[in-house]
Amino acid sequence: MSDDEFDEAAWERELRQHRDRKDEFFATDRQSPIPQEQRDAFDGLSYFEPDADYRVEADVELVDGDDVVTMDTTVDTQVEYERVARLHFELNGEQQTLVAYQQAGEHTHSLFVPFRDKTTGQQTYGAGRYMEFEVDGHLSDAATVPLDFNLAYSPFCAYNDAFACPLPPEENWLDVAVEAGEKLPDA
């Protein structure tokens, strides 16, 4: 969708509905990362206010071949991901790049983008945050993809030590503050 077609009010309404559904899942679903004994006190996740400036178009640079990265996790294990694309975009007036991954051996339309930024460990979860999104069609046909940092979320291990979560590799550490998406509880 071009900026000329962007309906900010509709986007914000949809984002708030997404957040409401996620809060409901965390509060009630048996697969919630919130421990059962803490769910009665759970009153929703903490978020930065929606900000359309953190919704950007990223130029796609495909990564050729089977470029595998081993990511450490929060429980001292490792998991393998394949680099599939470098995403180049402008944020806060500066050029940035994030790498998009897929689990090694999986070839889907889903991209995984773990990252750290200048809010990590202060306003947001100390191990980093994630974005995941689906590509319409084939990634090789996409010149650009939308990145909406308002959808950046903390992994389940932020809420429960029973989960093993991949840590963003250094190539996905941004040198800017991304004040969008999920914050630390009570931040």
Round to whole Å and give the CA distance between 73 and 54.
27
Give me the residue label for tokens 């009630």. 28
Phi-psi region of 186 (alpha: psi -120 to 50; beta: other; left: phi over 0): left
pLDDT bin (cut points 50, 70, 90) of residue 186 is low
Round to whole Å and give the CA distance between 95 and 89.
6
Model pLDDT, residue 4: 62
On average, the pLDDT of the chain sits at 92
Tens digits of residue pLDDT in 22-41: 999 999 999 999 999 999 99
Model pLDDT, residue 3: 54
pLDDT bin (cut points 50, 70, 90) of residue 103 is confident
> Rounded mean pLDDT of 90-113?
89
